[in-house]
């Protein structure tokens, strides 16, 4: 090691300790003072270790940096010692559920939550029972709840109906990982007894539902859709599942997800779109989207980090709601990105999503990112008082669903909306900021990468986690912090834009909305607004490709986009259409 660049480490550390400082090699004036005070001889016999000057020089290119020879000489011993520190931390084998000491808070952008005034007020309407079980299976939660409370159907009857349908159609859809039959039947019997005694827990009492299989349920496998975890059983039940249990909802199945929440390919198969079985259901909440679409559950829970509710809701022609970040506890859910993961409902309508969200929302000490915040939902179709913006440049583009989206804007105008053009910031690139997801995901599954467990996952392509986790290991820590500082700037800019509107209407996949609003934590509702014919070779003209549109709300004002989506659905029937699979 160069005699011009490195003092004897032991004597330098001893001097630092007299100052009450750690033994880290400090830069600048402190380093010079320590060198003079110790008058330390140079140790030319130190071995460099696994990291050498030549390795540092090559590694600089990965980070886009350049140092000189003297600077590299000084780095060698520090980096070798730091490598030992990395190895010490890795030996801890930190479980996936342990969050980092840093908690993401979208309020840094300027938003403030509303006070929580308790559950929304909702009374089930008067409904007649349909003639067929198929029609019954496709009813929205709002009508199923009414039938249950009226006594025109029992929870046990609904549970057995959905279990039959899950078994009948899953051979084609591959949407189920585990049926929870025993648990479901016990819950249904309890719900029927309570309802018979006029003990109504609320609008979800007796409604069968499905959970994306990254939500832990005690006594059942929680596979995360990935081969390394296909036999995993977690001795815990996720907070959202517990809240639905308390509301009297009945869990009938744990539904598929793309491995570790990416795509629609899991360890056993690909989940298929009920509208077109030649096509995957998209992901990662693939099973939730497919099961709701095919009438196999009353509703489902999904999660979104970067489109995992919006994309399968769009692909399968259902309504998906991604709440404001921090509104729903992630306790008991697989962690992928502590600063971007969100739990939300997928259902047949926006009103259904509002009812489910109202149950699962709330502060939870087990999830430090949750907030105390209120929620209100106006089910009246009057939207004339809403301030509504739309991404004009995005709607003017050619993207495949532009005609249906233009017609949606016309419906909103007919309802009394005065749409104002708006644009997201174009000087803050959102793409690079998604690096925070790749890095957090790599940290969440660091043990899987180090053990080579990722080699057992089905997908081994560039657009899959194994490759991304490996690549993310080369994200410099300084760049990670800078990305998150830039994210703060983005949150502030989007907050400035959104405070002038209750809702911004946008194409689901045009204009950067999906990336931007997932980074800022804003809520959105994705609803079907088209079913395009699909050319196929088997003569099945019923196949369709659903199209969707998205309503984005202000942070912690989740009721507004749901109310606008509900008003639109009151005037249209896209959310009521059924896939050819029946």
Residues annotated as part of the active site: 212, 284, 308
- What tokens appear for 135 in the block? 């029609």
Burial track 107-128 (b if 16+ CB lie within 10 A, e otherwise): bebebebeeeeeebebebeebe
Is the bond preceding 284 in cis, omega lying within 30 degrees of 0?
yes
Name the residue among 216, 213, 294 with its Cα closest to residue 257: 213
Write out the H or E segment, with its range, that includes residue 133: helix 133-137
Question: How large is the greatest C-alpha to C-alpha distance in the chain, in angstroms?
Answer: 94
Quick check: 361 and 328 in contact, CB under 8 A?
Answer: yes
For 366, left (φ over 0), alpha (ψ -120 to 50), or beta? alpha
Question: Hey, CA dihedral for 231, 236, 241, 245, is it positive or negative?
Answer: positive
**Kind of pairing, strands 342-347 and 208-212?**
unpaired
Among 143, 111, 205, 127, CA closest to 498: 111
Q: How many CB atoms lie within 10 A of CB 27?
A: 9
- Cα 299 from Cα 297, distance rounded (Å): 5
Give SS3 for 507.
Answer: strand
The SS3 of residue 524 is strand
| Contact (Cβ atoms closer than 8 angstroms) between residue 16 and residue 22 | yes
The closest of 517, 431, 512, 463 to 263, measured between CA atoms, is 463
Three-state secondary-structure class, residue 553: strand
Residue 198 CA, distance from chain mean position: 37
Q: What is the C-alpha separation between 479 and 435, in angstroms, rounded?
A: 9
Task: Judge whether 278 and 544 are in contact, CB under 8 Å.
Answer: no
Q: Is 348 exposed, middle or buried (0-12, 13-18, 19+ CB in 10 A)?
A: buried
| DSSP 8-state code for residue 176 | E
For residue 504, give the 3-state DSSP assignment: strand
């Amino acid at each position: 090691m160069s005699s011009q660049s490195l003092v004897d480490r032991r004597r330098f550390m001893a001097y630092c300790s007299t100052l009450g400082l750690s033994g880290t090699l400090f830069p600048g004036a402190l380093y010079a003072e320590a060198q003079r005070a110790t008058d330390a001889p140079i140790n030319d016999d130190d071995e460099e270790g696994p990291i050498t000057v030549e390795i540092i020089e090559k590694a600089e290119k990965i980070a886009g940096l350049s140092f000189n020879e003297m600077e590299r000489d000084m780095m060698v011993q520090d980096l070798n010692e730091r490598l030992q520190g990395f190895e010490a931390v890795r030996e801890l084998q930190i479980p996936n559920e342990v969050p980092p000491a840093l908690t993401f808070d979208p309020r840094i952008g300027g938003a403030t939550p509303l006070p929580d005034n308790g559950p929304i007020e909702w009374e089930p309407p008067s409904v007649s029972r349909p003639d067929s079980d198929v029609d019954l299976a496709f009813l929205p939660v709002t009508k199923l709840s009414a039938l249950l409370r009226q006594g025109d159907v029992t929870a046990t009857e609904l549970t057995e109906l959905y279990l039959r349908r899950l078994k009948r159609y899953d051979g084609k859809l591959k949407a189920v990982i585990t049926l929870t039959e025993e648990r479901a039947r016990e819950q249904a019997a309890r719900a029927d007894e309570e309802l018979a005694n006029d003990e109504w827990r609320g609008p979800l009492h007796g409604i069968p539902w499905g959970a994306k299989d990254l939500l832990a349920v005690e006594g059942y496998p929680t596979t995360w859709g990935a081969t390394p975890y296909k036999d995993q059983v977690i001795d815990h039940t996720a907070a959202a599942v517990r809240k639905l249990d308390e509301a009297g909802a009945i869990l009938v199945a744990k539904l598929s997800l793309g491995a570790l929440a990416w795509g629609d390919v899991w360890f056993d198969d690909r989940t298929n779109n009920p509208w077109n079985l030649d096509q995957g259901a998209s992901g990662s909440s693939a099973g939730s989207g497919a099961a709701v679409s095919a009438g196999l559950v009353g509703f489902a829970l999904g999660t979104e980090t970067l489109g995992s509710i919006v994309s399968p809701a769009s692909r399968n022609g259902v309504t998906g709601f991604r709440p404001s970040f921090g509104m729903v506890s992630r306790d008991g859910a697989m962690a992928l990105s502590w600063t971007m993961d969100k739990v939300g409902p997928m259902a047949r309508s926006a009103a259904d999503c509002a009812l489910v969200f109202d149950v699962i929302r709330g502060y939870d000490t087990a999830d430090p990112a949750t907030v105390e915040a209120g929620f209100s939902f106006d089910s009246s179709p009057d939207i004339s008082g809403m301030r509504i913006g739309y991404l004009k440049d995005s709607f003017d583009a050619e993207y495949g669903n532009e005609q249906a989206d233009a017609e949606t804007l016309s419906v909103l105008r007919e309802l009394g909306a005065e749409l104002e053009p708006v644009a997201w910031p174009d000087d803050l690139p959102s793409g690079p900021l998604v690096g925070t997801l790749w890095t957090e995901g790599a940290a969440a599954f660091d043990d899987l990468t180090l053990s080579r467990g990722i080699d057992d996952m089905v997908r081994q392509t560039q657009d899959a986690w194994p490759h991304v986790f490996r690549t993310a290991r080369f994200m410099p820590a300084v760049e990670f912090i800078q990305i998150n500082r830039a994210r703060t700037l983005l949150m502030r800019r989007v907050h400035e834009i959104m405070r002038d509107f209750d809702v911004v209407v946008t194409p689901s996949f045009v204009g950067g909305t999906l990336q931007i609003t997932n980074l800022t934590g804003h809520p959105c509702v994705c609803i079907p607004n088209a079913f395009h014919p699909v050319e196929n070779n088997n003569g099945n003209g019923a196949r369709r490709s659903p199209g969707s549109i998205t309503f984005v709300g202000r942070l912690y004002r989740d009721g507004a986009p749901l109310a606008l989506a509900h008003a639109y659905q009151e005037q249209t029937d896209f959310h009521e259409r059924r896939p050819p699979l029946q």
